[in-house]
Chain A
């Protein structure tokens, strides 16, 4: 069974304090690893797609990286508006085309 595990469950940082969120995955034949951001009361918003180990993607203060077993979302000098729940998802080659999501990391950036 495909599994995606995110850690930590929650993270509180001071504005400007850089950190990383972890996503470890166990899927059969990874076809893609995805990061989403979800604000309270909203649907998830797509951030990045990573296809192969060693790949990196950047957007503003966020950088996503991928290894053969995990992905990291690095947040550099975060601002309060970066506060959200960050979701990691994997698409496997095992059959169903639905994404397998982790439970997310709830990130709070304090001014």
Chain B
């Protein structure tokens, strides 16, 4: 158990809809990362928050947004969903901001299926 909690574990929705994925980081970790994993693309970095502030942005679509709340939990909002958004979405946390140790603790992911 990594200590990172993600909900929901599975989500099925229709094209055009909006969903919110939730992540509680490991106790004491200030950084939260969101990754998308699909069979053809592998793990793709979406966005990072550190202590409530956006720190780094990767390949995140404009239809997607995220935030980190004062209690450090984070939410990833996906809107105007398309079939291609079907994937596993992982949250990871770490204690530091730079990510230089590379030691991220991943949750078990939220599997999104868009029909």
Question: Which A residues fall within an 8 A CB radius of B?
Answer: 31-34, 41-46, 49, 87, 89, 91, 95-104
Contact = CB atoms under 8 A, between A and B. Distances in A.
A34 B102 contact: yes
Contacts of B99: 91, 97-99
A104 B43 CA distance: 9
A42 B42 CA distance: 14
Interface residues of B, number: 31
B108 A46 contact: no
A97 B69 CA distance: 20
Contacts of B45: 96, 98-101
Interface of B: 2, 4, 33, 35, 41-48, 55-58, 90, 92, 97-109
Nearest to B91: A43
Contacts of A91: 99-100, 102
B101 A49 contact: yes
B108 A42 contact: yes
B26 to A, nearest CB: 12
